[in-house]
Structures are given as structure tokens and as C-alpha cells.
Amino acid sequence: EVQLLESGGGLVQPGGSLRLSCAASGFSFSRNAMSWVRQAPGKGLEWISGIRPRADTYYADSVKGRFTISRDNSKSTLFLQMNSLTAEDTALYYCAKGQEDSNYAECWGQGTLVTVSS
Amino acid sequence: DIQMTQSPSSLSASVGDSVTITCRASQGIRNSLAWFQQKPGKAPKSLISAAFTLQSGVPSKFSGSGSGTDFTLTINSLQPEDFATYYCQQYLSYPPTFGGGTKVEI
């Protein structure tokens, strides 16, 4: 059974940093594209970053230059380093498993909440 | 970036009704279109990929159609557990983009 378990969320001050993790199990992690998708309170879904099996990375304009996605295939773990956080980054952050090298998010974790506030 | 326009943004229906949600892409995306269901306080759940392929375990009351720029999700015989918010997403190219969502209410 595929499982994705996000962690690392919390309360951070504007301008601060957080590092999110997503521990994956139940599939061959190294073979799949992975993504981070966020959802601000009461809002829709926003894809923010993706990484392909060969570690090509992609970012939404809203986070480019501030967030960095990475993966550790030996530990089946996905990361998102978030710097220069603002109130607009307050959201529930989901980790999603792609269908092989595709963007299609076939499985999702339960999310980790990031709150940016002073 | 490819823009996804979903309509309606909300709809009211009764148990037993059939409803259709539409999604339009700002440019052709072949059949690289997925539909997701999200219930309050829960993570999104994948229903359909490649415009019409049901994911494992998804009941056949859900169906998708379309190709290119225009797509639809149809839900037949609505049951209480189907009342949720539905999102489309194109995944042809980066960045993958979501529609704004359709809230299906009783």
C-alpha cells in the first residue's frame, strides 16, 4: 500500500524558513516523479514544485527562488526547503506521488500545515 | 502556463441526481487531464486520469470524457458520500495546473 507521510510543518515568522519532509513507502520511490501541492485555507489546490526521477526540478512562479525541492532515493524521502516565507505561504502542504515520470498526482499524503505569522 | 477553467464553481443537487462538471484548457492538452475529489478536512483523492480512465476502486458512477481543450466529469446517481469539491488538473506540461474547483452541495 502506498503511504506518504508529510512532516515539518508549523508556525514560523515572516522571513523565516522551514523544511518539509515526505516519507514514502509501498512503491519504488526512485522511479516516480513527486510533487508538492498546497492549499491555502478555504482555497483551491496549487501545485508548487515537482521533481522527476532523474532529479529535474520544477517550480511555480510563486515560489521560484525561495523554495527548493529535493529527494533522497536511498531513504524514499522527498523534501521541500522553504525560505523567505510570507503570510501568503500559509497553507496545508501535500506531498503527491506521480504516475511513474508523469505529473499526474495519483496518490496524496494527508498534508502538513504551515502557518506564517508574527 | 496552461490555464484550467472549471464550471460551475458550485452546484446544488439532490440524492439520485446526475451532475456534469466541465473543465476547459487554455490550449490543447491531448488527454492529459485528471479529476480529483476532495472532502472537507481530507486530502484530494484521484478519480480519473487520462481524461476517462477510472482509478482502481473508483465506482463506475464516475465518468470522464473529452480531449484537446474541453473535458467533462459526470457523476450519476449522487449519493451522500459524493457531495464534495471536485478539481480538474492538466498534467501535460509543467507547471501542472488545477481548475478552481466545483463544490457539489446538497
Cβ-defined contact of A104 to B49 (cutoff 8 Å): yes
CB count in 10 Å sphere of residue B81: 9
Q: Tabulate helix, strand, coil % of chain A (nearest 5).
A: 10, 50, 40
Closest chain B C-alpha to A44 CA, distance in angstroms: 6
Question: Checking DSSP bridges between strand B102-105 and strand B10-12, what pairing results, if any?
Answer: parallel
Residue from B58, B41, B38 nearest B102 by CA: B38
pLDDT of A55: 87
- Separation CA A23–CA B3 (nearest Å): 31
DSSP label at residue A24: E
For residue A59, give the C-alpha cell. Answer: 517550480
Q: Is B86 on the interface with A (CB under 8 A)?
A: no
Phi, psi of A88 (to 5 degrees): -70, -10
Mean pLDDT for A105-109 is: 96
Q: Which string of b and e fits A61-83 if b means at least 16 CB within 10 Å?
A: eebeeebbbebeeeebbbbbebe
Option in B38, B46, B97 nearest A106 (CB) = B46
Q: Is the pLDDT of residue A56 over 90?
A: yes
Q: Is the pLDDT of residue B4 over 90?
A: yes
- Separation CA A97–CA A24 (nearest Å): 9
Q: Indicate the pLDDT class of residue B106, thresholds 50, 70 and 90.
A: confident
Tens-place pLDDT, residues B22-77: 999 999 999 999 999 999 999 999 999 999 999 999 999 999 999 999 999 999 99
Q: Which chain A residues have a beta carbon less than 8 Å from that of B49?
A: 99, 104, 106
Cβ-defined contact of B43 to A45 (cutoff 8 Å): no
Q: Indicate the pLDDT class of residue A35, thresholds 50, 70 and 90.
A: very high
Phi, psi of A96 (to 5 degrees): -135, 140
Residue from A35, A22, A32 nearest A75 by CA: A22
pLDDT of A103: 84
- Separation CA A38–CA A43 (nearest Å): 10
pLDDT of A91: 98
Closest chain B C-alpha to A83 CA, distance in angstroms: 20
Q: Considering only residues 62 to 91 of chain A, which have any Cβ-Cβ distance to chain B shorter than 8 Å?
A: none
Option in A45, A109, A110 nearest B87 (CB) = A45
Phi, psi of A75 (to 5 degrees): -115, 5
pLDDT of A102: 87
Q: Considering only residues 23 to 52 of chain B, which have any Cβ-Cβ distance to chain A shorter than 8 Å?
A: 32, 34, 36, 38, 43-46, 49
Q: Which string of b and e fits A84-108 if b means at least 16 CB within 10 Å?
A: ebeeebbbbbbbbbbbeebbbbbbb
- Separation CA A104–CA A62 (nearest Å): 20
Q: Which chain B residues have a beta carbon less than 8 Å from that of A111?
A: 43
pLDDT of B24: 98
- ∠ CA B52-A58-A105, rounded to 5°: 30
pLDDT of B104: 97
Closest chain B C-alpha to A78 CA, distance in angstroms: 18
